[in-house]
Amino acid sequence: MEAPANVVNLRRRQRGERDPVRTREAILETATQEFAAKGLNGARVDTIAKRSRANKRMIYHYFGDKAGLYLAVLEKTYAAIRMAEIGLQLSDRDPVDGMKQLVQFTWNYFIQHPEFLSLLGTENLHRARYLKQSRRIRELHSPLIDMISKLIERGVRIGVFRPDVDAVQLYITIAALGFFYLSNRHTLSTIFGRELDTPERLATRGRHIEEVVLGYLRP
């Protein structure tokens, strides 16, 4: 009995046994965690090798070098959020409802994908040096901008949104409101002396973000 191709084998690989797809996948997944937790400079190739149960040599075999592995992680992470965004189906009745859905989608995606937030921070520390190398990511535009544009247009037409709202600015704003809270929760919670990532506090923040965006958009 063999597992079908393209499906990752969950059984623990025996010494010497080959499974290139799974090995590559395991390295990539472990590397995502490691780069997200430690940044590009803090991440250790040996740690990734050990935790993914792959030989260090395999990392160089599949990804060339540490930077190549990091770039692969970045591409996978960006591709994942773009895929999720494409899957977002907004209510086509009320633009107010549609905007709420979009805002909550973004907030929930950030909560569920802390590795995306961390890698974004790391990549910016490096002045987007790696992202600039990836034609694939550069061309992977967010569909949210278009969705926001259309929502604004419809909302303005039926008089529920203010005019003269820039879709790109609003896109940045919606991301910003969630990103800052989650990305800086360690320093913020230390200074405020209270946890920020309990389910209640996260829900409270989610409501606030929605109120800010929708409050702003009122005519």
Partner DNA sequence: TCTGCAAGTAACCGATCGGTTACTAATGCA
Partner DNA sequence: TGCATTAGTAACCGATCGGTTACTTGCAGA
Query: Which structure tokens are listed for 219?
Result: 């005519």
| Among 104, 100, 80, residue whose Cα is nearest residue 91 | 100
Applying CB under 7 A, which part among 17-25, 105-113, 182-190, 195-203 lies near DNA?
17-25
CB closer to DNA, 45 vs 90: 45
Shortest distance (Å) from residue 183 CB to a second copy: 6
Binds 179, which of a second copy, DNA, none (CB < 5 to 8 A, cut-off by type)? a second copy
Residues of span 34-73 touching DNA by CB under 7 A: 43-46, 54-58, 60-62, 65-67
Judged by beta carbon distances under 5 to 8 A according to partner kind, the member of DNA, a second copy, none in contact with residue 149 is: none
Q: How far does CA 29 lie from the centroid of its chain?
A: 14
Could you give the CA distance from residue 91 to residue 154 in angstroms, rounded to a whole number?
A: 12
Positive/negative CA dihedral, 38, 192, 170, 211: positive
SS3 letters for 1-58?
CCCCCCCCCCCCCCCCCCCHHHHHHHHHHHHHHHHHHHHHHHCCHHHHHHHCCCCHHH
Taking the CA atoms of 63, 35, 142 and 108 in sequence, report the sign of the dihedral they define. positive
8 binds a second copy (CB under 8 A): no
Contact residues toward a second copy (CB under 8 A) are 38-42, 118, 120-125, 127-128, 131-132, 137-138, 140-142, 162, 166, 168-169, 172-173, 175-177, 179-181, 183-193, 204-205, 208-209, 211-213, 215-218
The binding site for DNA (CB under 7 A) comprises 13, 15-20, 22-23, 43-46, 54-58, 60-62, 65-67
